[in-house]
Structure 1
């Protein structure tokens, strides 16, 4: 029934590895020139039924893989960067300077498109100042907060906020940062090479903002930035996320997840106890998001 899931997980794993192991030159190009000359076309995407996304516009393509996994892709070329709108009710928002986007669904998965990944730039230019990149992040996060997106902390990770959360990635590079904290320029420059990321959620959808920076051409006070937003529904975030590569467990993720969450939560408490002894402040006001697929389940730990 879950035909196509394992190839997808392998594909995504290879993609992530490719980013992590890539050479300093980023795998995209911007075109120099007046941003007013860039023709921006609005493309609407959403999770769920593919018919709700604009899948027939110029630059779009569909790859129906023999495994049963389907990839819906957009590529903006020749300097014509795109504008995307992610549709999610009152949580919808725009992404400009889009370079590419890819959605994924699979035969046997009733949820339709369960993931979108969107690559975009700080501006239409090829390189940007660090100040501009930080301002773009700050603007994006401000917009997300206005639209009702809330910070997410992994259930096995400590509930840290502000500068302490920022500094914690020195100990745990995959820790999701606090989007309410804007670092100093020195903090920003010291951390951008670590591929920082921030995670949000809103009404059953999870959003991961990640950043890749490179200065292969030794620009002065400038760098090439690639921003990526990945949207996932609960099936993708919890089912594939907690049981990667195991199609049987992915198929039964709703039954298996509560026990996993309890183990992960125990890990969080152990880590927090150690950090408290080191002087960290634990944000006890943070609440894990409700998992809609588990609501009403007698085994739901929430």
Structure 2
């Protein structure tokens, strides 16, 4: 077998380098072409929004999901407006957004939006600056009207045990309560694995927010990362049912009602255990009925 000539090898190397540079340029152009400020909706309007910003680029997976992504390259991070009903939540310092829809139910449009972001624009900031950004985010969330959400199977730990729940489970039970600077610092400085986990609901949309301190540099400046996972109540309700995506009409409604009954039974068992540990349960809380969004 003849060996490749020196010229052929050089040519192959050049082609490989050109290909790598092309891919890199394409990725850079994609990031650069994403507007600094975007507004995203759910349902069919959400599909139109993503198509506007991506030029119709969509990742269609054989498993039945389609994904739409937006990316920004530091230091030029994105500002994302999540709009639904008459509400708009503005999230700054975004690195990436991933929207998703079901291939077999196109009429539902965008059913979920995930966002990765930094708490602050700068990579590292002074501890007080990080705290003030947290305070600003929580103030906006409360002004928008987002409320505590417990899934049907989740224990309803009361607001009065908010700090204890955060320390033991990382779970916030009173989103209306903004930690003081001393409480914020004490939590993250005393536990390297500390997170703040919010589970919120507003007019047919659920959002899980996670706040993590990811690094401290050599001069004591801090870095915090945020993750927002939005899902429609309709999609969440169907997902709570085993095989729910294959059901519709009366069968789906019956399965949803059965799931609620089983979940509430499971919830009560968990709550009894927590009460034995000294936790107080918010028995007045009722999980929203998602059936109207699932039809």
TM-score by length of structure 2 reads 0.74
Asked if residue 72 in structure 1 is aligned to residue 71 in structure 2, the reply is: no
Contact in 2 for aligned 1:44/1:85 (Cα 8 Å): yes
Q: Normalized per residue, which structure has more helix?
A: 2
- Alpha-carbon offset, residue 61 of structure 1: 4.3
With 152-161 and 222-231 compared, the bigger mean Cα shift is at 152-161
SS across alignment from 1:132: helix
Aligned pair in 2 of structure 1 residues 285, 132: CA closer, same or farther (>3 Å)? Answer: farther
Contact in 1 for aligned 2:234/2:291 (Cα 8 Å): no
Residue correspondences, number: 252
TM-score by length of structure 1 reads 0.72
Query: Equivalences for 1:25-104 in 2 at 5 Å?
Result: 41-49=36-44, 50-57=46-53, 61-104=57-100
- Alpha-carbon offset, residue 207 of structure 1: 0.9
- Alpha-carbon offset, residue 230 of structure 1: 1.1
Aligned pair in 2 of structure 1 residues 91, 226: CA closer, same or farther (>3 Å)? Answer: same
Q: Give the distance between the partners of 2:77 and 2:50, measured in 1 at CA.
A: 16
> Which 5+ residue runs of structure 2 have no aligned equivalent?
1-33
Q: Which has the larger radius of gyration?
A: 2
Hey, which bits of structure 1, 4+ residues long, moved more than 4 A? 58-61, 169-173
- Alpha-carbon offset, residue 257 of structure 1: 2.2
Q: Which string of whole-angstrom CA distances, capped at 9 and with x for unpartnered residues, describes residues 49-77 of structure 1?
A: 14442433379942223444211100011
Q: Give the distance between the partners of 1:209 and 1:77, measured in 2 at CA.
A: 22
- Alpha-carbon offset, residue 163 of structure 1: 5.7
* Structure 1 partner of 2:12: none
Superposition RMSD in Å? 2.9
Asked if residue 181 in structure 1 is aligned to residue 180 in structure 2, the reply is: no
- Alpha-carbon offset, residue 186 of structure 1: 0.8
* Structure 1 partner of 2:212: 212
Contact in 2 for aligned 1:61/1:74 (Cα 8 Å): no
- Alpha-carbon offset, residue 177 of structure 1: 3.8
* Structure 2 partner of 1:270: 269
> Which 5+ residue runs of structure 1 have no aligned equivalent?
1-38, 298-302
Contact in 2 for aligned 1:105/1:113 (Cα 8 Å): yes
Aligned pair in 2 of structure 1 residues 234, 192: CA closer, same or farther (>3 Å)? Answer: farther
SS across alignment from 1:53: helix
* Structure 2 partner of 1:232: 231
- Alpha-carbon offset, residue 99 of structure 1: 1.0
Asked if residue 280 in structure 1 is aligned to residue 275 in structure 2, the reply is: no
Q: Which has the higher contact order (CA 8 A, sep 6+)?
A: 1
- Alpha-carbon offset, residue 170 of structure 1: 5.5
Question: Which of 148, 155, 162 is residue 151 of structure 1 equivalent to?
Answer: 148
